[in-house]
Amino acid sequence: MELLFWRNAQRTPRIVVLVSLTLIILGLIPLYHPFNLYAADVIVVDHSSKTPQPYQTKDQKIKIAEEDCDVFIGDWVPNPDGPYYTNTTCWAIHEHQYCMKYGRPDTDFLRWRWKPKGCDLPIFNPYQFLDMMRNKSMAFIGDSVGRNQMQSLICLLSRVEYPIDISYDDDQNFKRWKYTTYNFTLAAYWSPFLVTVKESDPDGPSRTGLFNLYLDEPDVKWITQIEQFDYLILNSAHWFTRCSVYYEKNQIIGCRYCGLPNVTDLPINYGYQKALKTTLEAINRLKNYKGVTFLRTIAPSHFEGGEWNKGGNCIRRRPFRSNETSLDGLCLEFYMTQVEEFKVASDEGKKRGKRFRLLDMTQAMLLRPDGHPSRYGHWPNENVVLYNDCVHWCLPGPIDSWSDFLLHMLKLEGRRALEESLQLK
């Protein structure tokens, strides 16, 4: 299950939030963006004064340092060409994201593309992607929004090829597929907390239904399996809003809303920060892992008019413009944690020859309240826990754009490798 136990519909005063977000965007984030990370000289990013510089896919000579457009800042613009697959061409659409099947009447949400401020982000090209992925492997690790992204990728690739299922067994939480023509392996590891979790037996004597999180132990289900992968795409956050007991060194050190006697209630971000740190440190310590680790930042949910279980819903039918909303509350906290821990891990990674990149989807997805299933993730009379789903994303839908960003970053990766090899000569 994949729920949110947070997100207030009321907005904090706009000016305050805008100021803090502006500080983040202008002051902090550009430094962390991958194309700047490895540039020799740090760039002062001033989004307002740049003349548009179209992205040149062919030109391998472009220096990374010159690629200073921040693709993650921008707006959604109309795109009459979307969507790029339908429910009849893709079987990978997960039931609950299959909005057309459940009668979603509007289709405008399918016809937008992301326009970064100051440059262009090309629409995903499945042939180019698969060509780049020859003999390579990629794993998605995290929660159901990560699975949502992977299914979107499979659907986008279905114009070229369907993968075959090469899973080791029938455990739906650990899947492997192969694109045989390209010898490309895709895998999914379900691990919504990324660290070890032992779910208390909900029917056990204590009937707590709490999650016991071992904040200093990476989840062995994936950490022991990934050394051979070329690309990892990690995500997490939403599950950390749940009632949990936190363990470190096998001792209870506190909890989140557990109501247990003598156990300290810790701030909501405490567990998440520790868990993310543990995860990224564990990747840094993997001896044989040579891949690129993408940390995908939080995709905000859009409950309005109430919380997820108190009548909140997402009924907007258009994207926000970037000046109409801003990140706030817990989502902002989680996002800041991701950026901070990413920075720590990538600094350490540079010493250890490990590559970390931030797949910074938060701002783009903040602007897409129209892209969720809402009540079109199931039949109207079905009794489901998350009746109005404002967390996941319809397929097809705005989450398809994540592959545009991913491909863009993979191309930068190629250039960076080229530059790094030139520097070695």
Ligand X SMILES: *[C@@H]1O[C@H](CO)[C@@H](O)[C@H](O)[C@H]1NC(C)=O
Per CB under 6 A, residues contacting ligand X are 87, 100-101, 134-135, 137, 183, 261-262, 321, 323-324
The C-alpha atoms of residue 382 and residue 389 are separated, in whole angstroms, by: 13
Residue closer to ligand X by CB (options 152, 241) is 152
Residue closer to ligand X by CB (options 140, 179) is 179
- Least distance in angstroms from the C-beta of 294 to ligand X: 18
Query: Among the options 33, 137, 144, 346, which is catalytic?
Result: 144
Query: Among the options 96, 302, 372, 392, which is catalytic?
Result: 392
141 forms beta bridges with 189, 234
The closest of 76, 55, 74 to 121, measured between CA atoms, is 55
The closest of 222, 134, 145, 220 to 176, measured between CA atoms, is 222
Q: Are 130 and 179 in contact (CB under 8 A)?
A: yes
Reported in sequence order, the residue ranges of 164-234 that DSSP labels E, i.e. its strands, are: 164-165, 174-179, 184-190, 195-199, 211-218, 231-234
Residue closer to ligand X by CB (options 324, 382) is 324
Provide the residue type at 82 as one letter. Answer: G
- Least distance in angstroms from the C-beta of 391 to ligand X: 22
- Least distance in angstroms from the C-beta of 271 to ligand X: 22
Residue closer to ligand X by CB (options 134, 317) is 134
The C-alpha atoms of residue 112 and residue 61 are separated, in whole angstroms, by: 31
Find all residues with CB under 8 Å of 253, minimum gap 6, and list them. 215, 246, 247, 264
The C-alpha atoms of residue 194 and residue 222 are separated, in whole angstroms, by: 8
Reported in sequence order, the residue ranges of 119-191 that DSSP labels E, i.e. its strands, are: 137-142, 164-165, 174-179, 184-190
Question: To which H or E segment does residue 74 belong?
Answer: strand 74-78
Establish whether 360 is a catalytic residue.
no
Query: Among the options 68, 360, 389, 404, which is catalytic?
Result: 389
- Least distance in angstroms from the C-beta of 18 to ligand X: 10
- Least distance in angstroms from the C-beta of 177 to ligand X: 14
What is the three-class DSSP state of 21?
helix
Residue closer to ligand X by CB (options 185, 297) is 185
Q: Are 192 and 143 in contact (CB under 8 A)?
A: yes
Establish whether 389 is a catalytic residue.
yes
Question: To which H or E segment does residue 115 belong?
Answer: strand 112-116
- Least distance in angstroms from the C-beta of 76 to ligand X: 13
What is the three-class DSSP state of 410?
helix
Q: Are 247 and 214 in contact (CB under 8 A)?
A: yes
What is the three-class DSSP state of 407?
helix
Q: Are 60 and 415 in contact (CB under 8 A)?
A: yes
Residue closer to ligand X by CB (options 275, 367) is 367
Residue closer to ligand X by CB (options 186, 276) is 186
- Least distance in angstroms from the C-beta of 180 to ligand X: 9
The C-alpha atoms of residue 45 and residue 34 are separated, in whole angstroms, by: 13
Active site residues: 144, 389, 392
